[in-house]
Amino acid sequence: MAVTAKTKAKQKSARAATKAQAAPKALGQDAIALLEADHRLVEEYFEAYEGLTDAAEKKALADKICLALKVHTQIEEELFYPPAREATGDGDLIDEAVVEHMGAKTLIAQIEAGAPGQPLYDAKVKVLGEQVRHHVEEEESELFPEVRAADLDLVALGAKLSARKAELMAQLAPPAA
């Protein structure tokens, strides 16, 4: 029995989700490790989306992408950016990240309101992926190294991020079918 590209994409996403959930725990809830695990998971989702053709599967994965990004941006803005700003003194970098989040939230709202097959739907998902990749590159190459060099308890911060993430996932995730 042949394995389809769609099945491979689903399996890859499932493995990525498992790794993303386990990584922060294995690293003692380090805040940056948790955020980087989120980055990897969403990257996997975007990659898997590109291989889909079925409208229902596209909608389901786009909804997962949107949920993951809404939760991730909220925990960063509420709990990570304020102490990162104070510890690094790099307000410009944090401000830029917040503005990038604002752009992502606009596209997320449009994607959630739309459906595959509608004009620009796939383009919006693709552009969101490109914007997220750019944001991730800046965070991981500029902000995260500055935060690691600062005097922050990343394990304690990671525990806060993890708890808030779980709370938001329970609050925002649709009920299981």
Q: pLDDT 10s per residue in the chain (177 long)?
A: 344 444 444 444 444 443 444 344 444 679 999 999 999 999 999 999 999 999 999 999 999 999 999 999 999 999 999 999 999 999 999 999 999 999 999 999 999 999 999 999 999 999 999 999 999 999 999 999 999 999 899 999 999 999 999 999 999 988 776
| Predicted pLDDT of residue 176 | 73
For position 105, what pLDDT does the model report?
A: 98
Confidence (pTM): 0.83
pLDDT of residue 39: 98
- What pLDDT score does 173 carry? 86
pLDDT, residue 22, reads 39
Confidence at residue 28, expressed as pLDDT on a 0 to 100 scale: 64
Q: Compute how many other C-beta atoms are within 10 angstroms of the C-beta atom of residue 35.
A: 23
